Structure 1
Amino acid sequence: MDDGKAMGDGMAAIGCEGGYTVFAGGGFAIRFRAPYSLRRYIRVKEWDRGYLVVDAEYAHSPEPVEEYIDLVPILEDLYIDPADYLPRIREVVADEG
């Protein structure tokens, strides 16, 4: 995942790399464990201040699967203030990787 392209102008990207989900934007690249069979995130359907709805491709499913990701508890575990960080992100896209 090219972290540099997601860092500016209120843009962020979500992708999958080496068994981890990578969320890059707002000055950070955050990595957290992804499901073992996740191949890639296809598209971001919704972004709402830390809550993502995405379509994902899995090894065991021929059809895309809708997934829900809440970044707030992840940010808090990393001692990143969601109230400070999340307003920096206006749009999230799926990383083509």
Structure 2
Amino acid sequence: MNTSLVLTLLWMIIANVSAILPSKDNYWSRAYGLIAIGVPLLGYLTYENGPWVGLIALAAGASMLRWPIVYLGRWLRHLVLGGANDPS
């Protein structure tokens, strides 16, 4: 195992442990930290191991940080549609 795989697995363990611990801000501060560390780590992993391993790690990270991705999708949809599809 190379360094990028070990660091990625360590990131995944930290993400899972941080999801178990209680939080007052619904885990957003932890999510920001995990994203800030995970994006460069994903680039390093893809550089060392190729695009398929990078895509697998991206899917695994997205499944762990799904709410920031859901809110990003909602924000982009609102930006593109201009609020025309707003249910409220």
Pick the TM interval, shorter chain: under 0.3
- Which is strand-richer, 1 or 2? 1
Structure with the largest fraction of helix = 2
